[in-house]
Chain A
Amino acid sequence: MKPTLGSYRAGASPLHRLPAWSKVLVLFVWAVVTMIITDPVTALGLCAAALLLLISILPAPKPTLKGLVFILLVAAATASYQVYRGYVAAGIDIAADLVGLFALSLAVTGSTSMSDMLDFTSRIARPFRRILPPTIPGLMFAIMLRTIPEISRIMRESRDAARARGIRRNMTALMIPTATRTVGFALDLGAALHARGIGDEATSDAPPNRRVSLAAPARTD
């Protein structure tokens, strides 16, 4: 199975060593620059650079290639429309921008662990802490990533259940159990967050500093 969405893989490449904020900043600046520059040669150069950066982190080959093929198809479709309208240079520029940005975003997510991203999002959310506890946006993002493979599992199981009862190609028989079971999963996940005290920091006081291991007794009473 695909490791995680964003396919983070531990490594020691220069991109892995950079802090999360700098990578997100580069991605942002890159996006702005590629949008401003409309010269196809520069766009192709930036695209090639982004692809090299992606290769430098040694990403998981299969999901990366799959993703690239998909974006190449999208880019080709967009470019051919532009070429059809007579704007060849714009076609090349848009296609190169799309592929380059996609490759760079893969390079960033593939070289930044979820906890680094969480730390980063908590930090940028800090100024808004009166409205939103700083840990919440990152946590929401992590939960979203975690939920995607679960929903696809629930969907697969619902489809199998429908098939086992001889029902095929029936959207209702697929979507209703998928939707209700997804809500069930969300409730379980909510209970687990609650049980683990995650998100409590916004409302409660300083933590205890004890550690329970399997070997050493921690109880004193």
Chain B
Amino acid sequence: MIEFKEAAVVATETGVPILHPTTLSLDEQRITIIGANGSGKSTFARLINGLALPVSGSVRVDGLDTRKHGALVRRKVGFLFTDPSAQLIMPTALEDIMLSLRRVIRSKNERVNAALAALEDIGLGGKGDVSVNALSGGQRQLLALAGVLTATPLVVVADEPTTLLDLRWKAHVGALLQALPIQLIEVTHDLEAATKAQRTLVIDEGSVVFDGTPVDAVAHYRDLMYRKTKETRS
């Protein structure tokens, strides 16, 4: 369903490659992506919904090229950011969900009801009129997820969605993501969460260096990081 064909990304100012030409297809329902800071995994994730575009090659979602059909692709691919603060646009929780629904539901009353239902579904019932600034980090991430889901995507790409959360919220948001009835591609530093997938990619220095089962991928990643640490020290 998601196809990378020789897709490559280069930093515009410096010409430094961020992602070397990559060809693969992502079909599994649960895919995790791990890698060091600055390895290119966020860029890889952003290629899927067209937030980043390849300088050469192509990325297709459901047969649609991200370069030609960006808006349509983004309707199919929901994106969850690390910091929910930047993802929430409207001043209150209810209004933020309603903003996602503006395009889909014309009638205002229906929109209010759908937004209230979405808040209830995600466990933020009764928080509709609360300012997004007054929500906790975990609640904000839930709200951001609710906003993504109301746009009815076929795939959710989550870029380190639990990095800023405490243990309790990490478990909660992690479980909600796992329960999604749609395809989930999660970039994570949480190696335990990374194993809750059918397939895991390890990205290093702009290349997919391992692609396989989560347990093997985590072992590969640990080994890679161990070797790099040793190189730095010596």
Contact = CB atoms under 8 A, between A and B. Distances in A.
A139 B118 CA distance: 22
Main secondary structure of the interface of A (DSSP, over half): loop
Contacts of A164: none
Nearest to A203: B71
A8 B128 CA distance: 12
B91 A145 contact: yes
Given A115-B98, A189-B89, A196-B147, A1 B133 contact: yes
A172 interface: no
Contacts of B108: 115, 119
Contact of B95 (A114, A203, A209, A221): A114
B151 A196 contact: yes
A197 B151 contact: yes
B75 A146 contact: no
A60 B181 CA distance: 41
Contact of A198 (B79, B99, B117, B148): B99
A193 B89 contact: yes
B129 interface: yes
Contact of A218 (B46, B83, B181): B181
A209 B114 CA distance: 12
Contact of B100 (A145, A189, A196, A215): A196
A119 B131 CA distance: 20
Contacts of A201: 102-103
A188 B83 CA distance: 9
A211 B149 CA distance: 8
A132 B49 CA distance: 26
A218 B95 contact: no
Contacts of B103: 197, 200-201, 207
Interface string B173-213: 00010011111000000000000000000000000000000
A145 B81 CA distance: 21
B89 A197 contact: no
A143 interface: yes
Interface in B96-135: 98-100, 102-104, 108, 114, 117-118, 121-122, 129-134
Given A191-B51, A195-B49, A207-B75, A212 B85 contact: no
Between B1, B132, B154, the greatest number of chain A beta carbons within 10 A of the residue's beta carbon is seen for B154
B88 interface: yes
A146 B91 contact: yes
B91 A114 contact: yes
B87 interface: yes
Interface residues of A, number: 51
A4 B181 contact: no
Contact of A192 (B89, B104, B152, B154): B89
B95 A204 contact: no
A10 B129 contact: yes
A196 B81 contact: no
Chain B CB within 10 Å, residue with most, of A1, A201, A218: A218
B153 interface: yes
B129 A135 contact: no
Contacts of A213: 117-118, 121, 149
Nearest to A202: B71
A211 B154 CA distance: 10
A39 interface: no
A115 B87 CA distance: 17
B81 to A, nearest CB: 6
A61 interface: no
10 contacts: A10-B129, A114-B92, A115-B90, A119-B108, A149-B133, A188-B81, A193-B89, A196-B79, A214-B180, A221-B1
Interface of A: 1-6, 8-10, 113-115, 118-119, 135, 139, 142-143, 145-146, 149-150, 185, 188-189, 191-198, 200-201, 203-204, 207-219, 221
Q: A-B pairs with the 6 shortest C-beta distances?
A: A188-B86, A217-B181, A4-B91, A195-B79, A210-B152, A204-B71
Interface of B: 1, 46, 49, 51, 71-72, 74-75, 78-79, 81, 83, 85-92, 94-95, 98-100, 102-104, 108, 114, 117-118, 121-122, 129-134, 147-154, 176, 179-183
